[in-house]
Amino acid sequence: MKFEVISTNLEEVKSDSVVIQFFEGTEFPESVLTLPESIRGEIASPIEAGGFKAKLGQVLPVYPKSVGPVRCFLLVGLGKKQDFSLEAIRQAHGYAALKAKEIGSSSVAVPIPNLPPYSAPEIVASVVEAVNLAFYRFDRYKSKVEDSKYPELISLVVEPDVKTLCDTAAQEAVIVSEAVKLARDIANMPSSDIPPKKLAEIATEVGAASGFSTKVFEMEVLERMGMGGIVGVGKGSSNPPVLIVMKYDGGGDTYAVVGKGVIFDSGGISIKPSEKMEEMKYDKSGAAAVIALMKAVAELKLPVRLIGIVPAVENLPSGNALKPGDIIKFRNGKTAEIISTDAEGRLILADALAYASEMKPKALIDLATLTGACVIALGTHASGLFSNNDRLADALIKAGEKTGERLWRLPLWKEYFEQIKSEVADMKNVGGRPAGAITAAAFLMNFVDSGIPWAHIDIAGTAWTQESSPEKSYIPKGATGIGVRLLIEFLKSEIKGG
């Protein structure tokens, strides 16, 4: 599938299908006014008959009787104008893309409307992301793959004065959405095919292709480095743990991003219930997002220095596995009493955060499917945000609103740190059921050097589609790839100076 940006009147477009966007209860958009009156009448007919209300995501094909290059007009609802956002653009055009595929369109034209406060390049990027991601399917393990064809060409119709900017926006959106698809692929893969060492190989291959370096630390080195959390969790599996360190140097400020890479989480000795345990292949979603983020940043050639760190382990029960009551020592010298081996993500992140802190980044962010408690608190509609820095938190929240990957900030008051105090070590790895997502974040904060702006993003409710997940046209069932678009937007805002 190819995306192109063109400047022309809608009546001159020769695409198989043409998208026409409507708000609820409004008149024809400006783009339609250039069409012949007979065509406008055919488009108006289902609206007047009440068959098209322009609800967000509603798509109605209209086949004109007149002979011409356009076989079908796709009427697309943007919902209520007062509720309009870039997320509405993504939702609407994702559904339009799926309908175009359903009716067999080989090419689709999308007029880019003038909809302040959003610029044409922003709308172009949102359309491209939505269309590219709506067509994603994880079908590599199916013996028979759906053979229906996708549109070969998506033409984005813009005004001449913004064509160059829109060209750039479209190209960048393709890069970002392809990175999201990589994150989905990694997260969707069964653990049998992607043990820690294989994940490291994937990161290395992606780095070689995209333009960042990769270094992999294996068990013996991790032991010498004092990575007690990674070693402790990983020693229960026959597939040893690794620490993947990726570096991209585009000049500018240094940022570090850490992704939880639990390839599969059985809970260890504190084993999980069997129901839905198959979903624990998604416990590597933070790692998937960080590898994909490195790919996107390198291919976009953003003027930043970015360090991506992924501690990769399998959390399994065995004679060598970590046990409740054990005490482990981390990279920064702090110790933790193990209350539950099912609270393993924070143990591997602790070492990774301590290691990242040594590099003194301008900001340090971690992404992790960390706690079921966060799902209870926020459901599947937002990721939990915890931070020691208001400016960083605000910038991430703003990026989340723009990308549709919403964040909700939760507190880190000193009372929560009291819950994880231990009688025999510096801390416990769990603080009980109350405020479980917060005490997990409090645990992590012990491994970030003071003075480094840090944010923890708990994506347990948003990393894969669950029963209560909101339906989104550009997110099929399975891994969502969350975090990639969010952090690209955050880094771009940092480059612009907020």
pLDDT in tens, 290-324: 999 999 999 999 999 999 999 999 999 999 999 99
Spatial contact of 174 and 3, defined as CB atoms under 8 Å apart? yes
- The rounded distance, in Å, linking the Cα atoms of 348 and 227 is 8
pLDDT in tens, 78-107: 999 999 999 999 999 999 999 999 999 999
Residue 218: the pLDDT is: 98
Q: Specify burial of residue 492 (Cβ count, 10 A radius: 0-12, 13-18, 19+).
A: middle
Question: Is 272 designated active site?
Answer: yes
Which residues in 78-202 belong to E strands, given as ranges?
Answer: 107-111, 153-157
Task: Please tell us whether the domain made up of 189-495 is placed in CATH 3.40.50.2000.
Answer: no
Candidates 181, 281, 331, 346; catalytic one: 346
The pTM of the full predicted model, rounded to 2 decimals, is 0.97
Residue 498: the pLDDT is: 55
For 12, 14, 34, 110, 166, the CA distances from 9, given in Å and listed in that order, are 6, 11, 7, 12, 17
> First-to-last CA distance in the chain?
34
Query: Which residues, 6 or more positions from 462, have their beta carbon under 8 angstroms from its beta carbon?
Result: 380, 381, 382, 383, 405, 469, 480, 482
Triad 292, 296, 298: Cα angle to 5°: 115
Spatial contact of 44 and 32, defined as CB atoms under 8 Å apart? no
Sheet architecture: strand order including 107-111: 2-6, 153-157, 107-111, 17-22, 72-77, 59-62
Tracing tokens 């240094």 back to the chain, one arrives at: 254
- The rounded distance, in Å, linking the Cα atoms of 108 and 128 is 12
Domain map of the chain by residue range? 2-176, 189-495
Query: Which residues, 6 or more positions from 209, have their beta carbon under 8 angstroms from its beta carbon?
Result: none
- Residue 382 DSSP code: -
Q: What is the CATH number of domain 2-176?
A: 3.40.220.10
Spatial contact of 74 and 120, defined as CB atoms under 8 Å apart? no
Candidates 272, 334, 398, 492; catalytic one: 272
Question: Which regions of the chain are under pLDDT 70?
Answer: 67, 147-148, 498
Spatial contact of 472 and 133, defined as CB atoms under 8 Å apart? no
Residue 47: the pLDDT is: 86
The string of DSSP codes covering 246-279 is EEEE-SS-EEEEEE-EEEEE--TTSPPPSTTGGG
Question: Is 346 designated active site?
Answer: yes
Residue 67: the pLDDT is: 63
Which token pair is 178? 């392809």
Beta-bridged to residue 454, according to DSSP, are 364
- The rounded distance, in Å, linking the Cα atoms of 293 and 314 is 22
- Residue 151 DSSP code: P
For 8, 128, 223, the CA distances from 161, given in Å and listed in that order, are 12, 20, 59
